[in-house]
Amino acid sequence: MEKIDYKKEFKHLYKPSAKKVEVVDVPTMNFLMIDGEGDPNTSKSFQDAIEVLYPLSYTLKFTVKKGKIGIDYGVMPLEGLWWADDMSSFSVGNKDEWKWTLMIMQPDLITKEMVQEAIEQVKTKKDPVSLPLVRFEFFDEGKAAQIMHIGPFSEEGPTIEKVHSFIEENGSQRRGRHHEIYLSDIRRAAPEKWKTIIRQPMS
């Protein structure tokens, strides 16, 4: 059986340097997505979103593995887009006013029909509360600056500032939404070892 490691296939996107900011051109990719708002540390909807995205992603993985396609691949990491209507509340850490989109990238071989079948399977087995909120869409991010942050989320500030400064120093401007990719299982890894990709689209 063929096995595909999409994190290796897209190594430049999912294994950036932790020492320097790099510019990447992110291709259009498909994602399972859920929108929400509020403090990710206390918002039930945030946890509910995670608890539906992973079961759906694993259902799709096994559908592909056991079906006619017969390809095995690793489920991709959780990603988050972050913003606020008033960006000053975002910068000072007023998390109750934060808005977010949680998402997991899906390989090109995943179709809308397969997603709908996976939704029906997950509904039958668990019926997560956020299941009706899931959408399957492409995301076209384009040119972006990124770096690896190692450590707890609460210490991301200087890393984010480093990315923003890099963009300005290169005569470019920020656009789109602050993007994070969570490579570590925070339930198992120590906070000082958490790996998070900090990405900012730029023009």
pTM for this predicted structure: 0.95
Contact 178, 149 (CB under 8 A): no
Half-sphere exposure of 91 (CA within 13 A, CB side): 5
User: Stretch 35-39: mean pLDDT, rounded?
Assistant: 94
Domains in the chain: ranges and CATH: 1-24+143-174+186-203 (no CATH), 29-139 (3.20.80.10)
Average pLDDT over all residues of the chain: 94
pLDDT at residue 47 is higher than 80:
yes
Query: Phi and psi at residue 77, in whole multiples of 5°?
Result: -70, 160
Q: Which of 16-25, 41-50, 155-164, 185-194 has the lowest mean pLDDT?
A: 185-194
Categorize the per-residue pLDDT at 202 as very low, low, confident or very high, splitting at 50, 70 and 90.
very high
What's the pLDDT score for residue 91? Answer: 62
Nearest Cα residue to 178 out of 57, 40, 70? 40
